[in-house]
Structure 1
């Protein structure tokens, strides 16, 4: 059976559905930040990655946010985009994450979480990032 891959037509947060920690994080983000579905949330496994300029390696490494104009942001900047596209009360936090200095710290924190997601609450062995 052939699976039809989705090409996003709206801003889209892309995550790894094979990772329980990522899936749970996205569920929380949807519940708290974007209850009105101002943007789509899709697992990379269901997307036509080439159509949006992403690879499996990009998506294994970090969350991605594909904007309506095709701009792609990764890691902490993807989360910042999700916040700035979400409910109005969360938008200032998204912009704060983009401020120089804070962005550097947010990037470090994001990379640490990504590297240790299999050890965090809700994480499983399937959450471990590939080596290399």
Structure 2
């Protein structure tokens, strides 16, 4: 069992990497921050599909939060004013708005500052049509 949470992000995405490094320098969440490409995803209890889709917060007991909830947990762990922001992100209706904003940013991260075409999420494949 780990003794601290883990924040997992997409290390191939410039926007995600810049955001994670900003959090490490300025927010200072109490966690290990690691790109999913270098994480033991099996040990963390997550799939590569989920890790490419959203930032993840994995608690020492193995509970996994994704997307806006993961951001909220990271903010809460930092303490001070950051924890107030994190707590707000968990309250309805802010939580619902945060989820939508997170998804909008994540789906368009290749268009964000620092983003490149490598940041784009894989396209969902259409189900094969029956013959």
TM-score (norm 2): 0.90
Q: CA deviation at 1:15?
A: 0.2
Counterpart secondary structure, 1:123? coil
Residue ranges of structure 2 left out of the alignment (5+ in a row):
125-131
After superposition, the CA RMSD in angstroms is 1.3
Residue ranges of structure 1 left out of the alignment (5+ in a row):
1-6
Counterpart secondary structure, 1:14? strand
Q: Aligned partners of 1:88 and 1:121: how far apart in 2?
A: 28
Structure with the greater alpha carbon radius of gyration: 2
The residue that corresponds to 2:22 in the other structure is: 28
1:90 aligns with 2:87: no
Q: CA deviation at 1:8?
A: 5.2
Q: CA deviation at 1:100?
A: 1.1
Larger CA deviation: 7-16 vs 18-27: 7-16
Query: Which among 47, 59, 64 is matched to residue 56 of structure 2?
Result: 64
Q: CA deviation at 1:118?
A: 0.2
Q: CA deviation at 1:91?
A: 0.4
TM-score (norm 1): 0.89
Q: Check whether the contact 2:109–2:119 (CA below 8 A) recurs between aligned residues.
A: yes
